[in-house]
Amino acid sequence: MAGSNAVRQPVKAPVKRMQERQIMNQEDVRRAMTRVAHEILERNRGAEDLVIVGIHTRGVHLAHRIAANLAEFEGVNVPVASLDVSLYRDDLRVRGQSKVQPTDIPMGIQGKRVVLVDDVLYTGRTVRAAMDALVDFGRPQQIQLAILLDRGHRELPIRADYVGQNLPTSIEERVMVRLLETDGADEVALIFDDKIGAKRDS
């Protein structure tokens, strides 16, 4: 839902004074997604048999942007699907339930080359869940992974095939991706605890 994570706050998160630093602006996001689309075409020698599958919520919007780029560069219409992974997560017990949204894969993925799309690659658990969810819909010939921002700290042997930007982060930091479709503007920001700021206030 539009901007839901800006309105709702987790119950247990400590309220701290946080600082925010912009990592990518609108132009950076656009250029990164343009390059990712070119790399997809290069790696797959065109767009034949491709299906772009976005992971809810922001991955779906990015998937549509990649498909629009592919249409512009090659004049092909690549099907876009959306995937919800909340029912496949292995960390439900730790992170609790999340919003369940409908998965929509109208074209099927049997024998296709699937490009999974998400905004941030972190532990890799979302991608693992996404691969589990995908195979319930058929056996793709290949699964590739496109990501806007890779922030490191993998807990599983997963890496992205297409990366918009690499950003080494600390585990205490948070990454916020805002997109035009959900948040009114394109932006990637790093959020960190501002201890100096807190001291200044007290």
Provide the binding-site residues for another protein, judged by CB under 8 A. Answer: 1, 4-6, 8-22, 25, 57-58, 84, 86-89, 92-104, 119-120, 132-133, 136-137, 174-177, 191, 194, 197
* Closest separation in Å from C-beta 151 to another protein: 10
* Smallest separation (angstroms) from another protein to the CB of 144: 21
CB distance 117 to 87 below 8 Å: no
Cβ neighbors of 43 (< 8 A, separation 6 or more) are 144, 161, 162
Closer to another protein at the Cβ: 40 or 60?
A: 60
Distance in Å, CB of 38 to another protein, minimum: 26
Q: CA 50 to CA 66: how far, in whole Å?
A: 12
Q: How far is the CB of 20 from another protein (least distance, A)?
A: 6
Q: What share of the chain is helix, strand, coil (3-state, %, to 5)?
A: 35, 25, 40
Nearer to another protein, 77 or 110 (CB): 110
Least spacing, CB of residue 202 vs another protein, in Å: 14
| Cβ closest to another protein, residue 20 vs residue 72 | 20
The residue among 21 and 199 lying less far from another protein, judged by its C-beta, is 21
Write the DSSP assignment of 52-116 as a string of letters. EEEETTHHHHHHHHHHHHHHHHH-----EEEE--GGG-S-HHHH--------B-TT--TT-EEEE
Give 31 or 95: the residue with its C-beta nearer to another protein.
95
